[in-house]
Structure 1
Amino acid sequence: MEEGITRIGVSLPKNLLDEFDRIISTRGYSSRSEAIRDAIRTYITEYRWLESEKGEVVGVLVVLYDHHVKGVSDLLIDLQHDFHEIITSSTHIHLNEDQCLEMILVKGKMERIKVLVDKISAARGVMNVKLISAVKKV
């Protein structure tokens, strides 16, 4: 093994791994490891960008979740009430029998929005959270 390389093990649901394999094959990756390294780099880049944003912003939180997971819908509603001062509106879309998409419009201090993003991201049943933001000109 190469110097500076660490081997890890990851447990994934079969359907997620199958989809990942299909995508990396289509994109021409030579191995899962190469694709996972790229995915981790992208995750780190997005996280660093999110962490570097400051001040007042407006944006949209796009949340994909499995509505069959017990409590996830209630948690998302509770969080929206807890963060009412930064949430201007939300839209709920039923994608299929299992998945829902919530678009939450936010306006306020980036520091507070980050807290909301972290709480939603950590929720069981949430599959993906993406913040699309623009720094508000004051």
Structure 2
Amino acid sequence: MTVVSVSMPDELLERLDEFSEDHGYTGRSEVVREAARNLLGEFEDKQLEDRPLIGVVTVLFSYENSTVEERMMNLRHEYEGLVTSNVHNHVGDHYCMELFILEGKLDEISEFVGRVRATKDTITVDYSVIPVDGFTPLSEG
């Protein structure tokens, strides 16, 4: 097996080690391998390919970090054909939340989420996707 060196902040490494111990993993390498498999498999759902989707992406970051906010604004403009709505909110005294509503194909949404996740200094990035063609109006149900 190939050995890979990864840089991460001490706090994240401590959380990784604690998670490994608390959940019965043999070590941090096993946790990282599983996380990599999960991340790579997230957008490989064959049932979602070639279907129109709605995506919701939520990003949390520190209020003091204007570079993240600027990056979110740039992504909003770069993906204007995908992003149908965008909301910026202040959360508590020190945080901002960016909410993106997307409409597009799986590969487009995947690319957008990847670009958001690659933004340095975000605290969390969460998302979900729903097939648009799977909706049944309540009046028919």
Structure 1 residues 66-111: Cα deviation after superposition (integer angstroms, max 9, x where no partner): 45445221110122133333323334353663x5432211123334
Structure 1 residues 12-71: Cα deviation after superposition (integer angstroms, max 9, x where no partner): 110111111222222122211222221122112114339x63331112012244454452
On the 8 A contact 1:87/1:107 being kept in 2, the answer is yes
Root-mean-square deviation (CA, aligned residues, Å) is: 2.8
TM-score by length of 1: 0.74
Match of 1:126 in 2: 122
Aligned pairs for 1:1-138 within 5 A: 5-49=1-45, 53-69=49-65, 71-91=67-87, 92-94=89-91, 97=94, 99-137=95-133
Tell me, what secondary structure is at the counterpart of 1:61?
strand
**Paired amino acid for 2:82:** I
Gaps of 5+ in 2: 135-141
Q: Percent identity?
A: 26
TM-score by length of 2: 0.72
**Paired amino acid for 2:103:** K
On the 8 A contact 1:59/1:132 being kept in 2, the answer is yes
Distance 2:60 2:83 in 1: 17
Q: Say how many residue pairs are matched.
A: 132
Distance 2:9 2:112 in 1: 27
Distance 1:66 1:30 in 2: 34
**Paired amino acid for 1:135:** P
Q: How has the CA–CA distance of structure 1 residues 96 and 6 changed in structure 2, closer, same or farther, with 3 Å as cutoff?
A: farther
